């Protein structure tokens, strides 16, 4: 048995995902109210309908049900979590927008506790089951490799070491004389027809351009996938992206996730929803308390604004609650341990990071993100760009209220250059490996750090 049933895998996964979503909704309803009566009455019937519509829309936009043979389990699970979070924020935003006060928050929370658990268990079971099925020789794809060399050998080794991916290697085709070669390139077409080959891998370094064109044309006529392999092993830690300049393909070796529009849309949507929740749920009632405390403690404004370095090194006004007495060194000198400029209320605000709350308005206006490299004063950007290699690379994305460096303990004062180098290293890792899952992880780490207390927060 080959892969003739592979086309049904996406359909099965999509249907089971939707079924688990509805089961989670029903379980949450019964848990919250002790009965299923009223499930299909207003407002729960409307919410259930909207929940299904948003999941179907997200599924067809991002296709989380599509599972590649070689996808890593961690990547598959991260994709699912990302889509669940986006849906949860979408539903939460709608409930806030329509001011639906009769809807049980407990039911919503329970739904999105049960649903991730069920769908992650289902994904793990399904993936391991189908990989075990392929390991025993079912649902496989016959493959051949055109062009013989080091990278061809590595590809064969991959097929041999990973039978769970379901690739059956049938041989090399090359015009050389090595004893591992199945046949000459001119023998390929006859071999492919007589052995039901599903995929042809062409190694660009070892095959002439004209031969590859001929193989691609042959593959299109016979419904056989042709894949090209270029030797980019020396750039494996880079983000690789193919761009088209008319008919000329260009390989961009410095691309990163947030260069792609779909990722920017996801991050921006998350920023807006998260900021609205914080502003409405926290800032709205906490602001008067903090404002009165600041006014009673010292003379001056409630807010403090400062020009800082943003995305593409463009300047922007960064807002905070004022934590210091007015001083002439505010734009050049960082706060230090026991800094006399810091007020009593300011010390508490800095220790708890409540002084950063106004920056959620920066996020709404688009000059900042919830998560990203922390913005520096212009003076420090100029200073450290000369001392730290690739320092300016951290400005490829919007600065954040929190970041990976801060979650790992590199926040506040930079006592020496090595401290800043480590901060930049974490910032660059974040930029090169961004995902919504990573943003959520950083937010959770930041909250845990605030609860435990951070010795660098002063």
Do 180 and 292 lie in a common domain? no
- The sign of the CA dihedral 89, 363, 359, 431 is positive
**283 near 357, Cβ under 8 Å?**
yes
Confidence of residue 1 (pLDDT cuts 50, 70, 90): very low
Longest dimension (CA), the chain: 88
Dihedral of the alpha carbons of 141, 144, 145, 151, in degrees to the nearest 10: 50
In a domain, 181, yes or no: yes
**457 near 449, Cβ under 8 Å?**
no
Structure confidence at residue 163 (pLDDT): 93
Is residue 375 predicted with pLDDT exceeding 80? yes
In a domain, 43, yes or no: yes
In a domain, 239, yes or no: no
Domain boundary among 135, 158, 178: 135
Do 332 and 277 lie in a common domain? yes
Burial class (CB in 10 A: 0-12, 13-18, 19+), 197: buried
In a domain, 240, yes or no: no
385 — phi, psi (to 5°)? Answer: -65, -25
Do 83 and 116 lie in a common domain? yes
Do 447 and 323 lie in a common domain? yes
pLDDT tens digit sequence for 152-182: 999 999 999 999 999 999 999 999 888 889 9
β-pairing verdict for 199-203 and 225-229: parallel
Do 286 and 386 lie in a common domain? yes
Q: Which parts of 256-415 fold into alpha helices (H)?
A: 261-278, 284-297, 344-352, 359-365, 378-387, 404-407
Structure confidence at residue 306 (pLDDT): 93
Distances (CA, A) of 199 to 8, 135, 243: 19, 18, 24
User: Into how many domains does the chain fold?
Assistant: 3
- The sign of the CA dihedral 311, 315, 316, 318 is positive
Confidence of residue 198 (pLDDT cuts 50, 70, 90): very high
At residue 281's C-alpha, the angle toward residues 276 and 286, to 5°, is 115
What's the whole-number mean pLDDT along residues 248-255?
70
- Those residues whose C-beta lies under 8 Å from the C-beta of residue 433, and which sit 6 or more positions away, are 257
Structure confidence at residue 7 (pLDDT): 66
At residue 309's C-alpha, the angle toward residues 308 and 310, to 5°, is 115
Question: DSSP for 357-378?
Answer: TTHHHHHHHTS-EEESSPPPBH
At residue 183's C-alpha, the angle toward residues 177 and 186, to 5°, is 105
What's the whole-number mean pLDDT along residues 68-89?
85
In a domain, 246, yes or no: no
Confidence of residue 456 (pLDDT cuts 50, 70, 90): low
- What residue numbers bound the domain in which 308 lies? 262-452
Do 53 and 177 lie in a common domain? no
Closest CA to 168 of 125, 191, 134: 134
Rounded (to 5) percent helix, strand, coil in the chain: 55, 15, 30
Do 158 and 203 lie in a common domain? yes
Do 208 and 326 lie in a common domain? no
In a domain, 254, yes or no: no
Do 372 and 308 lie in a common domain? yes
In a domain, 244, yes or no: no
Domain boundary among 94, 112, 135: 135
Higher pLDDT residue, 98 or 178? 178
Domain boundary among 118, 135, 152: 135
CATH number, position 163:
3.40.50.720
Percent of the chain scoring above 70 in pLDDT: 93
Spatial distance between the Cα atoms of 167 and 207, rounded to a whole number of angstroms: 22
Spatial distance between the Cα atoms of 92 and 338, rounded to a whole number of angstroms: 42
pLDDT tens digit sequence for 310-361: 999 999 999 999 999 888 877 677 777 777 888 999 999 988 889 999 999 9
Do 126 and 194 lie in a common domain? no
What's the whole-number mean pLDDT along residues 7-14?
85
Do 121 and 155 lie in a common domain? no
**429 near 404, Cβ under 8 Å?**
yes
In a domain, 150, yes or no: yes
Confidence of residue 105 (pLDDT cuts 50, 70, 90): confident
Do 86 and 20 lie in a common domain? yes
Spatial distance between the Cα atoms of 345 and 298, rounded to a whole number of angstroms: 9
Is residue 237 predicted with pLDDT exceeding 60? no
């Amino acid at each position: 048995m080959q892969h003739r049933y592979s086309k049904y895998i996406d359909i099965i996964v999509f249907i089971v995902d939707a079924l688990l979503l509805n089961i989670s909704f029903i379980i949450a309803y019964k848990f919250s109210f002790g009965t299923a009566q009223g499930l299909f009455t207003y407002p729960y019937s409307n919410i259930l309908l909207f929940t299904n519509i948003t999941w179907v829309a997200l599924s067809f936009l991002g296709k989380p049900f599509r599972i590649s043979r070689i996808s890593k389990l961690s990547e598959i699970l991260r994709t699912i979590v990302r889509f669940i979070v986006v849906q949860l924020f979408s539903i939460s935003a709608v409930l806030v927008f329509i001011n639906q006060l009769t809807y049980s928050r407990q039911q919503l929370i329970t739904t999105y506790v049960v649903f991730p658990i069920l769908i992650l268990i289902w994904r793990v079971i399904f993936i391991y089951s189908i990989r075990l099925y392929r390991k025993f020789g079912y649902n496989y794809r016959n493959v051949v490799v055109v062009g013989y060399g080091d990278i061809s050998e590595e590809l064969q080794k991959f097929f041999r070491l990973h039978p769970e991916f379901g690739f059956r290697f049938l041989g090399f085709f090359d015009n050389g004389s090595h004893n591992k070669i199945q046949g000459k390139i001119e023998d390929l077409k006859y071999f492919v027809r007589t052995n039901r080959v599903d995929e042809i891998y062409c190694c660009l370094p070892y095959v002439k351009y004209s031969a590859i064109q001929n193989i691609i044309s042959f593959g299109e006529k016979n419904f056989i996938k042709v894949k090209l392999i270029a030797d980019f092993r020396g750039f494996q830690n880079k983000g690789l992206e193919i761009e088209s300049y008319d008919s000329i393909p260009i390989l961009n070796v410095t691309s990163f996730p947030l260069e792609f529009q779909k990722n920017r849309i996801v991050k921006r949507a998350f920023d807006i929803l998260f900021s609205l929740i914080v502003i409405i749920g926290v800032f709205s009632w906490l602001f008067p308390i903090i404002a009165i405390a600041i006014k009673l403690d010292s003379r001056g404004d409630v807010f403090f604004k400062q020009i800082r370095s943003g995305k593409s090194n463009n300047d922007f006004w960064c807002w905070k609650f004022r934590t210091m007495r007015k001083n002439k060194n505010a734009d050049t000198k960082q706060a230090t341990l026991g800094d006399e400029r810091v007020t009593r209320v300011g010390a508490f605000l800095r220790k708890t990071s409540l002084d950063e709350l106004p920056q959620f308005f920066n996020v709404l206006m688009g000059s900042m993100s919830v998560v990203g490299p922390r913005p520096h004063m212009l003076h420090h950007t100029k200073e450290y760009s000369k001392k730290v290699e690739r320092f300016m690379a951290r400005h490829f994305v919007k600065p954040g209220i929190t970041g990976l460096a801060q979650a790992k303990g590199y926040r506040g004062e930079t006592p020496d250059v090595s401290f800043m180098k480590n901060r930049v290293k974490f910032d660059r890792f974040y930029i090169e490996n961004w995902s919504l899952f990573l943003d959520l992880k950083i937010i959770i780490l930041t909250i845990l750090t605030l609860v435990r207390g951070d010795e660098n927060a002063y």
